[in-house]
Chain A
């Protein structure tokens, strides 16, 4: 499969479709450059990245807001959107725009933490299983199966409570970490499987055997030769995981198990808005839109990355089939 796609990539320039495959690509280029080249030509991926970039920028710059995300002004409560309060104000008179930005910090932090946890566990488990094979592989894959057998929402609810209890004060005070750890612990399995599958494919190839023969240390074989070959699917999966995590947090909030107030998150802003749906709809609309935009852009980026890492598919457009 990998072999095929590599040869496919080389075949591309010959097809002479400059709009997607610029002639410059005949010059020797690193795989990373090629991926980037393809990625930036994917219309959805580009707009998705721009959008996500904007969201992140807004969230990072939230401190510029003249309003406080926690302290309210009861004199200005439940105001509809206006120039002063672009998204209106909530029941305590807090500027919703500010809260949505701060909430975005929390939601995106949860998302990123989950991605980090998923990558850490998934890549480790997948590499070990794929590299060693045999009983290690068997054991790790059975553990993965077991983790996949957990009914996730239910376990999320229970595990969150356990972590707060057993993990002590740190987890009790750091809701964001708790939620992220729990979501992460329940979502690394796909990455592990992807990494393992990629390893299994590569393991038997000549260049790995050659590396073994000339005495390259194992960890170096893994990190320098095998892991890079699995990087595509991992990155795609990690991107999508960011979106899943944000949705999971929103769902948990709806059930009352998400990030707890007064810390705003898109999830709890949205679920708190439920009671106001009929009379103060803006409270629900804006956090909902933010979640919506984030997931859409993340999906587009994932889509673009997938195509970029798997040039074989792009060839359809080019017509090399």
Chain B
């Protein structure tokens, strides 16, 4: 998510007490564990001047372990210093990092057994060193796995339940035994959220979620953390022993905390910042004519702005016994979709950068041929008439006259909710959609909530978990290339129970549940087929009304080259390839 008022999302930390001005020179920077290595190691290129870029982000990363919090800023810095077994590029291709090659069925790295389990053999590169000179080995992978599954201090990460055990073959080879077919095995210990942690350096007693090495990491990636002044900045220097020889090209990276995005943008324009993450459409538009700034836009969006129609009556969670008086009828949902003019919203609020999306399967590698629904307010009106929603008293708002689940005369009025943190574009979209639906006789009362009230768990009074809404609007989507976890928590019947998942529209469909099971196969053709069957089912039932993706873009200075925005990972995924061109 790119929260416009994203000040709100996390908290800073402390590595060093900050010096009060006037008390003398700044303290010597905290050395990372790699104290033995001079922070400013000689660069590969005999450049006279050290190159340095500045990345501006609105708040401190909570730590370097993106599996815990995953607010994006942790992933950003994690990519600078740590490596996973494999990673994903912006186009959805997986490439090896610590692995010597990607294990597949073809090269014998993956063996599927008759009982439906599988084994994956990883061979690690032998030339990757931790910054203290220790090689990265199979022990580190096993250590990481054991830390995650520790019941007291570990955490759930995608697919972790599918692993039975990890077996060490030799110092650089290991076999992961899965208890099922797990198609996403390639990015399980890599990708956006996961990295391998140093066994000899992290303290297992402190545990995965709280260990100090998550805040003062021992690097095996392109950069080494040199200094972290909480709330102010982090400094990274080039790792001279990075396994890709000659890389990274840039000597020093400064990550500066600048909370206000208007100020971030100004700094970029003035040349004091080189990279600004997750820029909004308005800023992309503004930067178009700035000679100092460029914008990298990801090949596709990730966050799909969508409507969540509650299929169960307000405050209930059973769509069968207590159906929603209005939204439980699929014709009404379809009419709502037909009545919303996505192109107008995109053009007027998102500067044309929002792309219409109508199915979950809109980006590689799973793109399904679902035809785009037309914007057709007249058709929507006709469909509502057909569904028994007519305006007979002439007040412009329809009432139930022979509709499916509401009493006769029930007015077509609902609450329409969105969240505040996104800022102005969502506010305006919210209002515009209400206007467009009002035009076909649906009256919406607008409410704007704080996100952490909307999405809180049941015990904390979360509005969605309680089903205490009619129609909600916000952006959701998944990282990486495997949609199964996302589909499960969004649509699976067992995710409809309070606090069991996020099927908050309470869509119960056994056919979907069965299809989702079938996606657990290594046969990519079959997988695509099943996903497209799911797409068809979702299109027929419309449990969720997808509208458009917002832009996924990162702005950078003109002197910085190699930046490629991505929705599968974070912008620093290829930081070792970045160059500063004078």
Contact = CB atoms under 8 A, between A and B. Distances in A.
A touches B (Cβ under 8 A) = yes
Given A261-B427, A274-B262, A256 B421 contact: yes
A241 to B, nearest CB: 26
B420 interface: yes
- Interface footprint category on B: 20 to 34
A316 interface: no
Contacts of A275: 4, 262, 280, 282-283, 423-424
A289 interface: no
A172 B447 contact: yes
A272 interface: yes
Nearest to B349: A91
Contacts of A260: 420, 447-448
Interface string B20-64: 000000000000000000000000000000000000000000000
Given A74-B344, A256-B8, A277 B431 contact: no
Interface string A37-68: 00000000000000000000000000000000
Nearest to A275: B282
Interface string B203-238: 000000000000000000000000000000000000
Contacts of B8: 256
B509 interface: no
A256 B446 CA distance: 16
Contacts of B286: 278-279
A279 B265 CA distance: 13
Nearest to A261: B427
B244 interface: no
A279 B461 CA distance: 41
B515 interface: no
A77 B344 CA distance: 13
Contact of A91 (B348, B420, B421, B430): B348
Contact of A165 (B344, B445, B446, B453): B453
Q: For the complex, would chain A's binding face be called helix, strand, loop or mixed by DSSP majority?
A: loop
- Interface footprint category on A: 20 to 34
A261 B449 CA distance: 10
B169 interface: no
B392 to A, nearest CB: 24
A273 to B, nearest CB: 9
Nearest to A75: B348
Nearest to A157: B450
B489 interface: no
B428 interface: yes
A274 B5 CA distance: 11
Determine which residue in A74, A255, A256 has the highest number of CB atoms from chain B within 10 A of its CB, and name it: A256
A92 B433 CA distance: 12
Contacts of B349: 91-92
Given A70-B431, A92-B432, A165-B461, A272 B424 contact: yes
A92 B431 contact: yes
A76 B450 CA distance: 31
Given A172-B447, A275-B280, A278-B286, A262 B348 contact: no
Nearest to B421: A256
Q: Which 5 residue pairs of A and B lie closest in terms of their CB atoms, listed nearest first?
A: A260-B448, A261-B427, A272-B424, A256-B5, A256-B420
Given A262-B430, A262-B434, 15 more contacts: A72-B431, A74-B344, A91-B424, A92-B348, A92-B432, A161-B450, A173-B447, A256-B8, A256-B450, A260-B447, A261-B431, A262-B446, A275-B280, A275-B283, A278-B286
15 contacts: A71-B435, A74-B348, A92-B432, A173-B445, A255-B5, A256-B5, A256-B420, A262-B431, A272-B423, A272-B424, A275-B4, A275-B262, A275-B280, A275-B282, A275-B423
Interface of B: 4-5, 7-8, 262, 280, 282-283, 286, 344, 348-349, 420-421, 423-424, 427-428, 430-432, 434-435, 445-448, 450, 453, 461
Interface of A: 70-72, 74, 77, 91-92, 161, 164-165, 172-173, 255-257, 260-262, 272, 274-279
